Amino acid sequence: MIEFKKFFDSKRYILGEGLMEFEKKYAAFSGAKYAIGVGNGLDALHLSLVALGIGKGDEVILPSNTFIATVLAVSYAGAIPVFVEPDIHTYNIDPQRIVEAINSKTKAIMPVHLYGQACQMDEICRIANENGLVVIEDNAQAQGANCNGKLTGSFGHLNGTSFYPGKNLGAFGDAGAITTNDSSLAEKLRVLRNYGSERKYYNEYIGYNSRLDELQASLLSVKLGRLIEWNKERNRIAELYGNLLDGSKVVIPRIAESCTSVYHLYVIRHKKRDKLQEYLKSKGIDTLIHYPIPPHLQQAYRSLGVKKGDFPIAERLADEVLSLPLFIGMTEEQVSYVCHHVNQF
Ligand SMILES: *Cc1c(COP(=O)(O)O)cnc(C)c1O
């Protein structure tokens, strides 16, 4: 493979040409000025909070139905996660409820573009501006989605994404990136990811070791060239699901008017979700649950003092959501086979 030979012969396996090239390409893809490659998506979010000076005693607003990594990033920074319920139809954070959660300790909003659908970013950014808050998008699941034509990963002051193998743009191992339009934050993050050192052996900050290595970056550059086409294919499969599933039997995904989805996942809802999953399994259809336990009910977050019943929408979603198979190369027959059995249940 040409890319591998180029990488191997370069003899520079960390912070070399391959990364610089990928960062340029990924920034352009996201409609942001800069991209900074880091070790994974969790680091991208954590380093973003650190770069913005968010830490001890600060409150960060995030959705109550997100993947645990969003919450962990806030904890790593020493800040307090404040959960806000999602909209029951789009599963994305509800802007109106964000307003209600803001107080004098609030420093940031971290919207998560869940399952590939862009959040209502215009409204979220307006709320942030009015209240002097920063926005950090968790764009791990929605590379290429947009809100009113503007791409996810280009709204926030800093935005984290993940190239975990299962994401829409997946590496062959762990990888992530931060996107931003702010040149000084971009500069600071390049230093933070590399021991807090701009000039070798001189340290400005207590930094980290979180770099996106050359091999992953080179492979990601190649895959990035096909991401738009792959996202289109995901949309075609989702449309077929939408046409073939019986909406009176299961709740099918709904996309907000101003937003698009890149269908990282195709998530339906059913009151007897566990039984439906079992039934589909018996027909040879593997499904997954994203996510079975909301962050506020995780053992790790006992200390927040939040209890069952405090976030009823997130809890209901955890009980009812089911992710149907959706992958590049999935045939019409496969989709209709799945739909047939979901409708039969
Ligand atoms: C995958 C994911 C992350 C974390 O990314 P990693 O690369 O696995 O660290 C963060 N937030 C969301 C919403 C994710 O789906």
pLDDT digits (tens, 9 = 90+) for 26-46: 999 999 999 999 999 999 999
Gap from CA of 287 to ligand 1 centroid (Å): 20
214, 13 contact by CB (below 8 A) = yes
Is there an atom of ligand 1 within 6 Å of 143 CB?
no
Gap from CA of 283 to ligand 1 centroid (Å): 31
CA 205 – CA 332 distance, rounded (Å): 53
Is there an atom of ligand 1 within 6 Å of 186 CB?
no
- Across the range 151-159, mean pLDDT stands at 98
Gap from CA of 255 to ligand 1 centroid (Å): 21
pLDDT mean across residues, the chain: 97
Sign for the CA dihedral angle at 294, 295, 296, 302 comes to: positive
Is there an atom of ligand 1 within 6 Å of 70 CB?
yes
Name the closest-CA residue to atom 6, ligand 1: 41
Is there an atom of ligand 1 within 6 Å of 159 CB?
no
Ligand 1 atom closest to 66 (CA):
13
Name the closest-CA residue to atom 7, ligand 1: 41
Tokens of 42: 């969790």
Judged against a pLDDT cut of 80, whether residue 1 lies above it is answered with no
Gap from CA of 140 to ligand 1 centroid (Å): 5
Judged against a pLDDT cut of 90, whether residue 2 lies above it is answered with no
- Per the omega criterion (within 30 degrees of 0), is the bond before 291 cis? yes
Judged against a pLDDT cut of 80, whether residue 155 lies above it is answered with yes
- pLDDT number for residue 6: 87
Judged against a pLDDT cut of 90, whether residue 3 lies above it is answered with no
- Across the range 278-300, mean pLDDT stands at 98
CA angle 260, 265, 266 (to 5 degrees): 85
- pLDDT number for residue 151: 98
Considering the entire predicted model, what is its pTM?
0.97
Select from 271, 245, 269, 256 the least CA-distant residue to 344.
245
